[in-house]
Amino acid sequence: MSRRAARRKRRARKALRQPAPVPPAARPLDDLSRALRTALFVSLGLLLLTPFVVTAGTVFPFVVGKALWSRALIEIAFALWALLALRDPAYRPPHAWLLALAAAGLGVSALSAALGASAQYSLWTSYERMQGVVDQAHWVALAFVLASAVRGAGAWRVLLGAHAAAGTAVAFIVIAGAVGIEVPFYGGLPGQDGARAGGPFGNPTWLSVFMLANLGLCAAFCARARALASGPATVGWASLALLHLSGLVLAGSVGGFAGLLGAAAFAAFAFAWLARGRRRRVAVALLVLLAAGTATLGARFVDGEARGILPIDGPAAQWPGAAALRYVGRVDLQRPSVQSRLAAWEAGLEGFADRPLLGWGPGNFQAVFGLFGSGYAAASTPHDQAHGKLVEVAATTGLAGIAVWLLTWGLALAVPVLAARTLSGPDRAFAVFAAAALAGNLVQLQFLFDTPAGNLFATFLLAFAARLESRALPPAWRACLPARAKAPISRALRVLRRRGAAAALAAAAVTLALWGLAVNRAILAAADSRHVGSVAVPTFATAEGIEAFPPLAGTYRMFLFLELTRNWAAVRAADPAAASRLLAWADREADAAVASEPWNWRIEQTLAHLYRAVADTEPAYEARARRHLERTRLLAPAREPFPAPLQPPGDLLAMPATAGPGNAAAGAIELRWSPSPGAGYHQLARSTEPGRWTTLLYTYDAERQRFFASDCDGCRHRIRACRTRLDCSDWALWP
């Protein structure tokens, strides 16, 4: 290294150790600015109620309400912040690379959407998901609002503490339901009676995301209280952390526990790097222990037979939440839910290789899954999400998207840890554990996809990290734009100082927010569940849903096609005139559906089924059925559009096994079978007592036709063929 380079390195280290300059105090706010700031923080407080929103009168009640509630409040907060920032420069966005990267990610998504498989679907997705570029734009806007308006460590602790308080309320709801206490409103919701708790999220995995995030925040506050030697606060926050851990257990999500391990490992690594002496040794020992435990569980996970990673038996089987723990403990590489994710990841990587630059467009993973899904993917439940964020981003936004995503969240993880070197002990512990909570969230996201509650937490932590950038990065690395880039920004700021320019910009921000609120109202009206009511045959109510908000009409169009297929023969026989009107309506919607999503193989397959059913009574539709069938096979070449019913495996034979290489020990029995054509996998189970069966094997290889089982008195064995968990043949028993 040259002397000049060494001097530069020493100056950078010195600058990094120096605290960031304190910004000048903001001028006192006038009455209007104070009212704007108060209203802004009220809207942010209401935003924290997102997890509790359930719209029972809409389709997908656990998704639509949360998405619209969060979008509406973000729009209000953005308008209030824009007015406040125009009046007071202290509330304008800080120079932060994280905010620039978030905006760049939105730009990449918009460009990918314009060039992808379906621009409309990329913008809005569906009622079931409520994601897309429109949703991403809201979270990026929220990041700018938070990073600009929440100023000071105390304000951030209040905001993140309020987030943890919301998590505590959700945990109480979940635990009360688990012990049989009736919770008003939430007790009667769908999806609350299974072994795994869903709470106000409906889906246990989504609940797990929220519990894990708030468990990390409670740990951060607990660490800060301990550093301040505040015993009561330490005990209180530790108790809340245990409460969230209980909620995490009741949710029973494998990804949640993987995220918990990831968060613990990140915190241990950060303290091993930051600490000195005994604390460093403790952190390193914890890191080694976590690595050893993960390796042990990983070895059991990849075992070739369905043994699970951690059996829950004996007294542990009587614990509250034992059923959820048993679900987690039984996970292994052979489980169908794991194999379907692996199949989706494989298809996603192939789709990325096919369009490496900008991908297939945000939200269009279903097109990727159809085109490139093979093996078990050709028989499993179709995936419209990769259930793995990195694969999803790579397949849908390509190299540009994955680069921005990795830079954004890598920097968001690094900044709090780098900033911790200049912070006091309590604030250092808080920053590290907050970053660990974000790390756990990102780990869990590799087995899931974005949800409103998860996006809310991640955006809070992203903005929190953006405020810490000035402490984390040396001056040479900070977001100081070069002179050529500053020139147009300076000109734009001079324009804002002209009379009327600020007022025009404020009016534009308010108009944008009002437009967004009007769109949200239209979506809420269109999502009314009466549009897919209890009547099997679609009526004009479904047409109202389609017309109320056409960009999200795909849900109702699929309902129309599926129900008309099931009921065509009966409707045609009862009222031919009504059948003709319904068919003409379906023809129009079919053209619109294909035009809006030309790569969606599920639409083509559904229409092939519809027109084949219609062709039985209207032969003129045979050509249309054939056209959609050919299109289906082009868009999903490995999937059979008209699969035959599965038959149980045949030629079952049981015999004593001969000891030898590749065989079981002497005394075992060899089970043989002939695979069922068209099956995605075969499931083999054993019973040692009446009515209780334990799965021994999931086999996805059609060439595997035998299994060595240990012999036992009174054991019985059975096998069945399955495409998915809900599409299986009858069981076949060995004699």
Task: Give 200's contacts (C-beta < 8 A, 6+ positions apart).
Answer: 51, 52, 53, 54, 62, 170, 173, 186, 189
- Contact between 210 and 201 (Cβ < 8 Å): yes
- Helix or strand (DSSP H, E) at 56: none
- Contact between 84 and 451 (Cβ < 8 Å): no
Q: Can you state the percent helix, strand and coil of the chain, rounding each to 5?
A: 65, 5, 30
- Contact between 668 and 686 (Cβ < 8 Å): no
The predicted pLDDT at position 88 comes to 87
d(CA 92, CA 69) in angstroms, rounded, equals 25
The predicted pLDDT at position 196 comes to 87
Q: What pTM was estimated for this model as a whole?
A: 0.91
CA angle 273, 277, 282 (to 5 degrees): 70
Token code pair at residue 363: 């939200």
The predicted pLDDT at position 16 comes to 46
Report helix, strand or coil for 177: helix
Express as a percent the part of the chain with pLDDT over 90: 66
- Contact between 491 and 32 (Cβ < 8 Å): no
The predicted pLDDT at position 616 comes to 92
pLDDT at residue 17 greater than cutoff 80: no
Q: Tell me the residue length of the chain.
A: 735
Strand segments (E) across 561-704: 650-656, 669-674, 681-689, 692-699
Quickly list DSSP for 432-448. HHHHHHHHHHHHHHTTS
The predicted pLDDT at position 479 comes to 47
- Contact between 421 and 412 (Cβ < 8 Å): no
d(CA 278, CA 533) in angstroms, rounded, equals 65
Task: Give 26's contacts (C-beta < 8 A, 6+ positions apart).
Answer: 88, 90, 91
pLDDT at residue 604 greater than cutoff 70: yes
Report helix, strand or coil for 733: strand
The predicted pLDDT at position 183 comes to 82
User: Cα torsion at 546, 550, 552, 555 (round to 10°)?
Assistant: 30
Q: Tokens 């468990």 — which residue?
A: 215
pLDDT at residue 496 greater than cutoff 90: no
pLDDT tier for residue 660 given thresholds of 50, 70 and 90: low
d(CA 510, CA 9) in angstroms, rounded, equals 47
Least confident piece of the model among 20-29, 403-412, 555-564: 20-29
Express as a percent the part of the chain with pLDDT over 70: 88
Using only C-alpha atoms, the chain has a radius of gyration, in whole angstroms, of 29
Q: How confident is the model over 236-245, as a mean pLDDT?
A: 96
Report helix, strand or coil for 516: helix
Token code pair at residue 349: 């990587």
Pairing of strands 669-674, 681-689: unpaired
Q: Which of 453, 455, 413 is nearest to 437 (CA)?
A: 413
The predicted pLDDT at position 666 comes to 59
pLDDT tier for residue 663 given thresholds of 50, 70 and 90: low
pLDDT tier for residue 339 given thresholds of 50, 70 and 90: very high
The predicted pLDDT at position 492 comes to 58
d(CA 402, CA 409) in angstroms, rounded, equals 11
Q: Which of 100, 93, 125 is nearest to 452 (CA)?
A: 125
Q: How confident is the model over 10-34, as a mean pLDDT?
A: 59
Least confident piece of the model among 111-120, 135-144, 365-374, 695-704: 695-704
The predicted pLDDT at position 516 comes to 95
DSSP structure class, residue 704 = -
Please report, for residues 273, 441, 626, 695, the alpha-carbon distance to residue 293 in angstroms, rounded to integers and kept in the order given.
21, 20, 55, 25
Q: Tokens 């890191």 — which residue?
A: 287
Q: Which residue has the higher pLDDT, 424 or 119?
A: 119
Identity of the amino acid at 368:
V
The predicted pLDDT at position 675 comes to 93
Least confident piece of the model among 140-149, 355-364, 694-703: 694-703
- Contact between 695 and 712 (Cβ < 8 Å): no
- Mean pLDDT value across the chain: 88
- Helix or strand (DSSP H, E) at 663: none
pLDDT tier for residue 720 given thresholds of 50, 70 and 90: very high
Least confident piece of the model among 183-187, 411-415, 624-628: 183-187
Token code pair at residue 2: 């040259």
d(CA 124, CA 64) in angstroms, rounded, equals 12
Q: How confident is the model over 7-31, as a mean pLDDT?
A: 55
Q: Which residue has the higher pLDDT, 523 or 491?
A: 523
pLDDT at residue 18 greater than cutoff 90: no
The predicted pLDDT at position 300 comes to 86
Per the rule left: phi > 0, alpha: psi between -120 and 50, beta: everything else, 681 is beta
Q: How confident is the model over 390-407, as a mean pLDDT?
A: 97
Least confident piece of the model among 114-128, 387-401, 662-676: 662-676
The predicted pLDDT at position 472 comes to 87
The predicted pLDDT at position 22 comes to 45
- Helix or strand (DSSP H, E) at 721: strand 716-724
Q: Tokens 């015999």 — which residue?
A: 655
